[in-house]
């Protein structure tokens, strides 16, 4: 059945049927693309094919739905119409390693994004984006460092997890199984390598399982058990 679904998608969507198909297609066109690159919605993503050899994407880059990556523009058509002159409009796009590009963001030509960067949804990105930063807006600007973002998110983990539990209780009348909170298991899961397959799968994301496992094993949970975590939420 899965093979049949893939075959149908391949017929309907061609090289945009899956993330791997799209990445391999762009590589064959001349783009330099590293490992672990995921294009979450290939059919709703536009990556410029006019000058694919002007595009470099590093390792472990997450490209979400509606993202546009452009290495040329046609705005010079206005100049041509007014002055009769043809001028160029082409530039490189370089995206570093470990980058997240939020929904509906646009990466313009002549842009270099450093390593460990988060680009907020709907951003218009141009120029040099420093490594280890979080950017957002139109035009995109640095709003904090990756370290500051990490600290903020860590402080919000319990409140976010509690909101999931409360919403689940209100909807279904029971507590959620712990596997329903795969992003928050560091709060309550005991430090053992024998963990839920759901949590293990989450740890494998991004390809750095060993580092994530070390972080998990060398930290301490906020609660002694999942039940204790649930009991703390009223």
User: What does the domain layout of the chain look like in residue ranges?
Assistant: 2-139, 148-231
pLDDT (tens place) for every residue of the chain, 234 residues total: 566 665 555 655 577 889 999 999 999 999 999 999 999 999 999 999 999 999 999 999 999 999 999 999 988 899 989 999 988 899 999 999 999 999 999 999 999 999 999 999 999 999 999 999 999 999 999 999 999 999 999 999 999 999 999 999 999 999 999 999 999 999 999 998 788 999 999 998 887 889 999 999 999 999 999 999 999 998
CB 179 within 8 A of CB 196: yes
Tokens encoding 104:
């509906």
For 2-139, CATH gives 2.160.10.10
- Element containing residue 208 per DSSP (H, E): none
Residue 176, C-beta contacts closer than 8 angstroms, at least 6 positions apart = 164, 165, 168, 169
Distance of CA 216 to the CA centre of its chain: 22
CA pair distance 29, 15, nearest whole angstrom: 12
Give the full edge-to-edge strand order of the sheet including 141-145.
38-39, 61-63, 99-101, 117-119, 133-136, 141-145
């Amino acid at each position: 059945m899965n093979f049949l679904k893939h075959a149908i998608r391949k017929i309907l969507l061609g090289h945009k049927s899956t993330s791997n198909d799209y990445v391999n297609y762009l590589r064959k066109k001349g783009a330099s693309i590293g490992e672990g690159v995921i294009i979450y919605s290939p059919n709703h993503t536009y990556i410029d094919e006019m000058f694919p050899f002007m595009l470099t994407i590093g390792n472990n880059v997450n490209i979400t739905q509606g993202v546009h990556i452009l290495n040329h523009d046609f705005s010079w058509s206005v100049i041509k119409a007014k002055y009769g002159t043809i001028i160029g409009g082409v530039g490189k796009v370089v995206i570093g390693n470990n980058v997240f590009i939020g929904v509906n963001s646009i990466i313009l030509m002549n842009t270099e994004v450093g390593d460990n960067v988060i680009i907020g949804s709907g951003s218009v990105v141009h120029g040099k984006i420093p490594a280890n930063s979080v950017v957002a807006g139109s035009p995109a600007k640095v709003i904090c460092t990756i370290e500051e973002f990490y600290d903020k998110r860590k402080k919000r983990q319990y409140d976010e997890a509690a909101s999931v539990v409360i919403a689940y209780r209100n909807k279904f009348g029971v507590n959620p199984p712990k596997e329903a909170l795969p992003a928050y298991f560091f709060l309550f899961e005991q430090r053992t390598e024998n963990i839920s397959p759901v949590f293990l799968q989450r740890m494998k994301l991004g390809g750095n399982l060993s580092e994530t496992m070390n972080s998990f094993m060398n930290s301490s949970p906020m609660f002694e058990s999942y039940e204790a975590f649930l009991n703390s939420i009223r």
